Amino acid sequence: MSNNDIKQGAASHRGKESYGLKSSSLSPLETLGQSIANIAPTATPTVVIPLVFAVSGGGTWLAYLIATVSILLVASSINQFARRSASPGSFYTYTIEGLGSFWGAVTGWALLIAYIGCASAVTTGFSNYANVLLESVAGVKIPAVIFIAVSVLAAWYVAYRDIKLSTRLTLILEFASVSFVLLLVGVTLYHYGFKLDLDQLALKTTSFDALRGGLVLALFSFTGFESAATLGSEAKNPLQSIPRAILRSALIVGAIFVLSSYAQVIGFQGHSETLDKSSAPLNVLADRAGLSSIALLINIGAIISFFACVLASINAAARILFLMSRHGIFHASAGDAHDTNETPHKAVTIAAIIAFIPAAILSVRGAGDFDIYGWIGTVATLGFITTYIIVSVAAPVYLKRLGELKVTNIITSVISIGILGLAILGNIYPVPPEPYNWLPYLFFALLLGGVAWVLVIHRFHPHVIDEIHRETKFNSDRFSTQTQG
């Protein structure tokens, strides 16, 4: 055997373990940082809560409470896999283990739509608050597309260089920005006298249909909570740290969202401008609470939170694309890892470029930042919800195959699928106003395009399916052995 053969064999063995990525380098806190950043908890009070209020009114807090419960149920299904297997593939790999390679590939495609769409959507949140800050400091604004480009370029650079830098940076940024939001929420409740807002609690200004409509956007606030699962090759003790990160991120941000939505509705009572019409709702709350001096910090917090979400989304999308390319579903070059940085550098670049294009085109054509955020964000949310439904179906099938299925697992999956299905239905009926009435069909067209591609792969490249099965089985067996040991 030649030296070259030996090197190739060694490289192949390493690839099965770490795929050329920075193996076991991320602490549990850094792993949690990926999920927290992908949720972008500061983005929700600044952008999404007003959008939910526009639909659900005083029931906004309940929409977030239902969304939190739903996400925790989904987290339970996800963790059936995350406790037993780890790879960069996240739901893509999990679904293969539960439902087979076809549904795994479909799930991977839906995840790409979701993560790249999320990255694209939140670039406009970045540009909006960057311009709010620029206008308050210098009295000028610049074209949003410039800030969109800056956010994507900066996120690409960090994701290209180092996953450890990415997760540490996003965790620090999110901790700082969330601190500003919680300070403002506390002061708002203090000024209200800490008494109960009975109109909100009695749901006097909402209805079932309004709650169902708001639930879709509320779920968008949580999307990405599972993205720690894409760090399966890079997290230390992934079978412990990843399930904990997924569950904790959902619990932490769920509490923040319910409290923030309740406080924001209170804070806008009696104000000439309603919550859903405000371009900077936290600034309004700061003024009304006598904390105008922290408006600058809030703007900065919003900017860094949106940037952290762009970065986390590109990181997650790149790892899904990376593994699917290594399996032959996409061009093999996207499955290369950087020799020095140990990052999926080509997949990072592809994900960043695709994320930039739709937001930039819509911005240049004159669409507003929040309009773009809502449009692309809706498509991304449908991608996430679809993958959550699939993994909720896959979990009991997977557990049955292992001989570990319990009645509670079935109940959990059925409830979560029901709530998520209701959220998708809320995007279709009652028919939302244009262009939101077209967005579900746009998503399903994109999804069907991916399904068609997967069918072509299955038909003309059956060796790809064999490779997916082989590597997935190796991965499951490897971690099963580690768990038993």
- Say what the pLDDT of residue 11 is: 39
Cα separation, 482 vs 473, in Å, equals 14
How many other C-beta atoms are found inside a 10 Å radius of the C-beta of residue 480? 13
Q: Give residue 430's identity as a one-letter amino acid code.
A: P
Residue by residue, what is the 3-state secondary structure of the chain?
CCHHHHHHHHHHHHHHHHCCCCCCCECHHHHHHHHHHHHCCCHHHHHHHHHHHHHHHHHHHHHHHHHHHHHHHHHHHHHHHHCCCCCCCCHHHHHHHHHCHHHHHHHHHHHHHHHHHHHHHHHHHHHHHHHHHHHHHHCCCCCHHHHHHHHHHHHHHHHHHCHHHHHHHHHHHHHHHHHHHHHHHHHHHHHHCCCCCHHHHCCCCCCHHHHHHHHHHHHHHHCCCCHHHHHCCCECCHHHHHHHHHHHHHHHHHHHHHHHHHHHHHHCCCCCCCHHHCCCHHHHHHHHCCCHHHHHHHHHHHHHHHHHHHHHHHHHHHHHHHHHHHCCCCCHHHHCCCCCCCCCHHHHHHHHHHHHHHHHHHHHCCCCHHHHHHHHHHHHHHHHHHHHHHHHHHHHHHHHHHCCCCHHHHHHHHHHHHHHHHHHHHCCCCCCCCCCCCHHHHHHHHHHHHHHHHHHHHHHCHHHHHHHHHHHHHHHHHHHHHHHC
CA-based nearest residue to 125, from 371, 294, 343: 371
Q: Give Cα separations from 238 to 33, 40, 104, 448 (angstroms).
A: 14, 22, 21, 33
pLDDT at 264 over 90: yes
Lowest-pLDDT range of 110-114, 171-175, 259-263: 171-175
Yes or no: say if 163 and 22 are a contact pair by the CB < 8 Å rule: yes
pTM summary value? 0.89
Percent of the chain at pLDDT > 70 equals: 92
pLDDT in tens, 11-24: 333 334 568 999 98
- Say what the pLDDT of residue 422 is: 84
pLDDT at 77 over 50: yes
**Token pair for 186:** 């506390």
Cα separation, 244 vs 82, in Å, equals 9
pLDDT in tens, 124-155: 999 999 998 999 889 999 999 999 999 999 99
pLDDT tier at 466, thresholds 50, 70, 90: low
318: CB partners within 8 A, 6+ apart = 159, 343, 344, 347, 348, 350, 351
pLDDT in tens, 176-209: 888 888 989 998 998 888 889 988 998 988 888 8
Per DSSP, what are the bridge partners of residue 26?
235
pLDDT at 480 over 60: no
Mean pLDDT of 229-243: 94
- Say what the pLDDT of residue 467 is: 63
pLDDT at 6 over 90: no
pLDDT at 474 over 70: no
pLDDT tier at 408, thresholds 50, 70, 90: very high
Per DSSP, what are the bridge partners of residue 235?
26
Yes or no: say if 174 and 42 are a contact pair by the CB < 8 Å rule: yes
pLDDT tier at 7, thresholds 50, 70, 90: very low
CA-based nearest residue to 217, from 76, 380, 362, 73: 380
CA-based nearest residue to 372, from 353, 354, 351, 358: 358
Mean pLDDT of 451-455: 91
- Say what the pLDDT of residue 468 is: 67
